[in-house]
Amino acid sequence: MEKYYKLVRDRIPEIIEAHGKTCICETISDEDYISLLDQKLNEELAEYQESKSLEELADLLEVMQAVVKARGWTLEELERVRADKAAKRGGFEKKILLKEVNEEC
């Protein structure tokens, strides 16, 4: 028996049972859900940083979308904030590395 305390995708219990195993799950509160989503963001980011795979990046995006919804925002709001920041401050296409800033006298 393996013990877990982690947020999993909706179909994971069904997949576990399809493999002839049983699992114990529960539906958690909104507060615990947001907390575990925040942990899941860190987990997925670490997995992407280790593998650099598109699949792990997709997992990170899935969790980000869940966080947006759980916090009562919409994906449209997220995109608007992203676009506004990009318009004001730019994106990352120019590959600029800031190395030093000097104070003017």
Band of pLDDT at residue 104, cut at 50, 70 and 90: confident
| Spatial CA neighbour of 26 closest among 40, 35, 15, 13 | 13
Residues 21-35: tens digit of each pLDDT: 999 999 999 999 999
Q: Would you place residue 105 in the very low, low, confident or very high pLDDT band (cuts 50, 70, 90)?
A: confident
For 51, 74, 101, the CA distances from 98, given in Å and listed in that order, are 27, 33, 8
State residue 43 phi and psi, 5-degree precision: -60, -50
User: Are the CB atoms for 72 and 60 separated by under 8 Å?
Assistant: no
Amino acid at 94: K
